């Protein structure tokens, strides 16, 4: 009987544990694309990756970098005059003509919403003077963002055997773009019209290619905020999309999807990410994250220089470790608000760092007159040295008085002798 009861209890225990694990964490849905990454847009942490660092031809997702450089280098109301090359370009375009004038903003709408290759080329020439020079700028900016496997040769993504990037690198570009409100505004625009120009006398209609935005499609995702599609025969299908729920924001980048399955798969992948991960704050800017006791016993509050966020695995009870580097603070004096050291935050393979500010002044102990002559290595007053200095000063005063008395007596004696000599 006892054995039977033990077996029954064991069965229920195993069942309960299995049930808990199944709902605490779930595997990501299957993705058709050969290269995939899911990134927390707030922290840059990768929560899922498949060949995410393997280079592939990116097609029009290349335009993420073109849009980023345009936002960083141009005013929206700048006028772009189309040169001879952009109208000759192949692929998707709005059919600009040589000498046509459009604002940077209008061209951004065209590039983001309908993937206009001609506008991407026109923006590249406007910024750098030529496609070749703009490609150099693209690669330089990619390195600054931390991209390690990217080489761009054009601003639009038409196939070139040297034109490559990765799902991870594209996610980094999208992460930076999400800091630009104009990018999100344009990316969320479902349809609009471009006004007539000096050459094209009718309004041009624009319809956003990102189906996640349109409720007429089954793949409609209400939390989607941005997306960029891409396709060439050689590159196959590519897609980069972002979605936001509350404080949580994720980026999905997919390369070399042969079946264009990303519209069916991306919403499921977003749901998985939002369910299993969340952005948490380790500490806030200005928050006291610790204290430092100086050698003389003073307590210095240590303040965070910025918010530090990390990506929490919702199935884990693990807490981030916070380590303040206090080794560099010894024998150091500082002012309130001054950066004095660093803090490292580590969680589940993620690492973040920030400067640490002093919450109060810490100055060298200095007494009037004697200055720092009696300050010890511990930044305290050495009363032994102080008494020695005071004793020396007192002794010096006494000797000075005695010397003065001696001189006065000697002068008086000399005067008496002089008078005696005159009398004789």
Which uninterrupted H or E stretch holds 344? strand 339-347
> 35, 63, 110, 249: which one is catalytic?
63
Which DSSP category does 331 fall into?
Answer: T
User: Which of 313, 368, 372, 364 is CA-nearest to residue 335?
Assistant: 364
Is 249 a known active-site residue? Answer: no
Contact 106, 201 (CB under 8 A): no
The answer on whether 2 is annotated among ligand-binding residues is no
> 35, 92, 115, 354: which one is catalytic?
115
Is 115 a known active-site residue? Answer: yes
Q: Give the largest CA-CA distance in the chain.
A: 143
- Give 3-state DSSP helix, strand, coil % of the chain, rounded to 5: 40, 25, 35
User: Which of 276, 275, 273 is CA-nearest to residue 250?
Assistant: 273
Contact 325, 291 (CB under 8 A): no
User: Which of 180, 178, 159 is CA-nearest to residue 61?
Assistant: 159
CA dist list (Å): 298 to 289, 304, 376, 408: 17, 19, 15, 53
Is 315 a known active-site residue? Answer: no
Residues near 149 by Cβ (< 8 Å), separated by ≥ 6? 53, 54, 55, 164, 165, 166, 168, 169
CA distance linking residue 35 with residue 254, whole number of Å: 6
CA distance linking residue 385 with residue 8, whole number of Å: 80
Contact 36, 51 (CB under 8 A): yes
> 35, 60, 110, 235: which one is catalytic?
60
Q: Which residues are annotated as a binding site for substrate?
A: 228
Q: Catalytic site residues?
A: 60, 63, 115
Q: Which residues are annotated as a binding site?
A: 228
């Amino acid at each position: 009987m006892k054995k039977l009861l033990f077996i029954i209890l064991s069965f229920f225990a195993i069942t309960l544990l299995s049930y808990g694990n199944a709902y605490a964490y779930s595997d990501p849905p299957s993705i058709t694309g050969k290269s995939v990454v899911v990134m927390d847009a707030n922290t840059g942490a990768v929560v899922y990756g498949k060949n995410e660092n393997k280079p592939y031809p990116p097609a029009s997702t290349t335009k993420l970098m073109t849009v980023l450089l345009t936002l960083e280098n141009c005013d929206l109301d700048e006028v772009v005059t189309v040169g001879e090359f952009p109208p000759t370009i192949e692929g998707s375009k709005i059919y600009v003509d040589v000498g046509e004038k459009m604002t940077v903003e209008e061209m951004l709408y065209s590039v983001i919403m309908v993937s206009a290759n001609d506008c991407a080329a026109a923006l590249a020439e406007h910024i750098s003077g030529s496609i070749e020079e703009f490609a150099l700028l693209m690669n330089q900016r990619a390195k600054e963002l931390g991209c390690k496997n990217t080489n761009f040769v054009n601003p639009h993504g038409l196939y070139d055997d040297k034109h490559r990037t990765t799902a991870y690198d594209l996610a980094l570009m999208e992460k930076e773009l999400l800091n630009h409100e104009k990018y999100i505004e344009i990316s969320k625009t479902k349809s609009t019209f471009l006004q007539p120009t000096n050459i094209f006398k009718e309004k041009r209609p624009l319809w956003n290619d990102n189906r996640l935005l349109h409720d007429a499609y089954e793949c409609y995702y209400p939390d989607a905020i941005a997306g960029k599609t891409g396709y060439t025969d050689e590159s196959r299908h590519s897609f980069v999309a972002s979605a936001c729920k509350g404080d949580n924001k994720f980026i999905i980048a997919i390369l070399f999807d042969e079946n264009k399955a990303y519209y069916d798969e991306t919403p499921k992948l977003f749901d998985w990410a939002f369910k299993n991960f969340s952005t948490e704050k380790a500490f806030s800017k200005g928050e006291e994250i610790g204290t430092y006791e100086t050698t003389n016993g003073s307590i210095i509050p240590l303040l965070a220089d910025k918010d530090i966020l990390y990506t929490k695995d919702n199935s884990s009870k693990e807490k981030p470790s916070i380590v303040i580097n206090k080794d560099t603070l010894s024998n150091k004096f500082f002012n309130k608000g001054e950066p004095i050291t660093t803090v490292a935050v580590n969680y589940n393979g993620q690492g973040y760092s920030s400067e640490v500010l002093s919450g109060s002044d810490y100055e060298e102990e200095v007494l009037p007159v004697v200055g720092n002559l009696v300050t010890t290595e511990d930044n305290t007053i050495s009363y032994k040295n102080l008494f020695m200095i005071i004793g020396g000063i007192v002794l010096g005063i006494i000797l000075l008085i005695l010397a003065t008395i001696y001189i006065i007596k000697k002068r008086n004696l000399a005067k008496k002798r002089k008078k005696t000599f005159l009398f004789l």
